[in-house]
Structure 1
Amino acid sequence: MTGFKTTLIVCKQCGRRIMVRTADAERGSITCSHVGCGAINNLQTSFHFDENIVRGLPGFGQLTYLDDPEITYPLRFGSNVIGIADSCTVQVTRFVHNGRCFISRRHCTLSVTFDKWTGQLRYQLQDGAVDSITQTIQYSLNGTLLGGALLKKTEMIDVGDGEIITLGGTDRFRLMHYSIAPAMLETYKVELDFNPDRTQ
């Protein structure tokens, strides 16, 4: 462990500060030296994944229309505005039911980001989309549901792999995540120096 500096941590048992030296960090634990304590404090070396991994990915997941699984919509990294307008990142078909379309022009936003701690893509859904002129969120007319539950207007919620997003209460889409292979992740692992805030 190169470049390690001595630092203080709080003992998990007695609550008093103890100094961590290079040898302690390399060993992965330190015994509290305060009289009457002697607790062993485990130290974590941590890592994260380099977000540059997303540059080489062949895709970022997709939405599949449940009434016709042949209809799929690929997602991009970043903000995906979903709706029937030409300006949408994901322009869906104007599905008509009894003469009406229940999907708004800019219905909802599905954001795809990279979680550097898990090494996987994260998908977050919110109703409506930011208006490019006013920079305020314009909500959908008929609402957005996740797994049958209506999203609140200001809510942004994580969407799991295979979960169902319903636009306007009628048109249902299954979200399929893109999963990054463990072998690829290993090549983007970044070891961090010992972090005193990440003790076990």
Structure 2
Amino acid sequence: MTGFKTTLITCHQCARRIMVRAADAERGSIVCSHLGCGAINTLQTTFQYDERLVQGLPGFGKLVCQRDPTQVYPLQFGDNVIGTANTCTVQVERFMHGGQCFVSRRHCTLTVTFDPWAGQLRYLLQDGVADPQQPDTRQYSLNGTQLNQVSIRKTELIDVADQALITLGGADQFRLIHFSIPQPMLDSYRIELAFNPDRTQ
């Protein structure tokens, strides 16, 4: 184990500190050397994924219009402002229903983040957008946003599952397609973390 640094863990039986060396880590266990103990502590390593891997991804998911599946809207990492305005990250068509469009100019925000523990992209939906002049306030849509046909409250920030339906203004539906990070790529960005006293058995 190149680059391994010795570390201390707490014995699960006697609660005294034990030094873990590279040989112990490779073996996956360590015997407590304190007089009268001798407990075998199984070492459980933990890991996460380096967020820098998102810089090499070819995409971050997409929204597919349910009315016309040929209309596909790619997403970017970070905030995706969805609406009809040409300043939106995701500018959708002005779909008309009885002469009216129910999608606001800046309707909702779909934020793409990276979960370093799960090694997956997360998709968080919120009605409205942050006011650029006052970042602590939001400008909400006129006709609301629904997730799988359930209205989301103005203050909610909701995780959106793969293949979920996002409805804008109660009329226009878009299916969210997640981008799945390939396992070989994840493996190359895996970071082993130090042993934690709470992660021994």
TM-score band (shorter)? 0.7 to 0.9
Query: What is the CA–CA distance in structure 2 between the aligned matches of 1:90 and 1:199, rounded to whole Å?
Result: 47
The residue that corresponds to 1:84 in the other structure is 84
Amino acid at match of 1:108: C
- Taking a change above 3 Å as real, the CA distance of residues 118 and 142 of structure 1, as seen in their structure-2 partners, is same
The residue that corresponds to 1:27 in the other structure is 27
Does residue 108 of structure 1 match 2:108?
A: yes
3-state DSSP of counterpart to 2:185:
helix
Gaps of 5+ in 2: none
Gaps of 5+ in 1: none
TM-score, scaled relative to structure 1: 0.86
Compute the displacement of 1:74 (Å): 0.6
Contact 1:110 1:123 in 2 (8 A): yes
Pairwise mapping of residues 59-78 of structure 1 onto structure 2 (< 5 A)?
Answer: 59-78=59-78
Contact 1:4 1:194 in 2 (8 A): no
How many residue pairs are counted as aligned between the two chains? 198
Query: What is the CA–CA distance in structure 1 between the aligned matches of 2:145 and 2:11, rounded to whole Å?
Result: 46
Contact 1:18 1:33 in 2 (8 A): no
Query: What is the CA–CA distance in structure 2 between the aligned matches of 1:153 and 1:37, rounded to whole Å?
Result: 57
Identity %: 60
Query: What is the CA–CA distance in structure 2 between the aligned matches of 1:4 and 1:147, rounded to whole Å?
Result: 49
Compute the displacement of 1:177 (Å): 0.7
- Taking a change above 3 Å as real, the CA distance of residues 152 and 20 of structure 1, as seen in their structure-2 partners, is farther
Query: What is the CA–CA distance in structure 2 between the aligned matches of 1:20 and 1:74, rounded to whole Å?
Result: 50
The residue that corresponds to 2:50 in the other structure is 50
Contact 2:62 2:177 in 1 (8 A): yes
Compute the displacement of 1:34 (Å): 8.2
- Taking a change above 3 Å as real, the CA distance of residues 140 and 36 of structure 1, as seen in their structure-2 partners, is farther
Give the RMSD, CA atoms, in angstroms. Answer: 2.4
Query: What is the CA–CA distance in structure 2 between the aligned matches of 1:86 and 1:163, rounded to whole Å?
Result: 25
Query: What is the CA–CA distance in structure 2 between the aligned matches of 1:122 and 1:15, rounded to whole Å?
Result: 41
Amino acid at match of 2:159: D
3-state DSSP of counterpart to 1:155:
coil
Deviates more, 1:53-62 or 1:187-196: 187-196
Contact 1:49 1:185 in 2 (8 A): yes
Query: What is the CA–CA distance in structure 1 between the aligned matches of 2:103 and 2:14, rounded to whole Å?
Result: 56
User: Could you report, residue by residue, the CA deviation over 1:116-169 in whole angstroms, capped at 9, with x for unpaired residues?
Assistant: 222221111111110111221111111111111111211111111111111111
TM-score, scaled relative to structure 2: 0.86
3-state DSSP of counterpart to 1:47:
strand
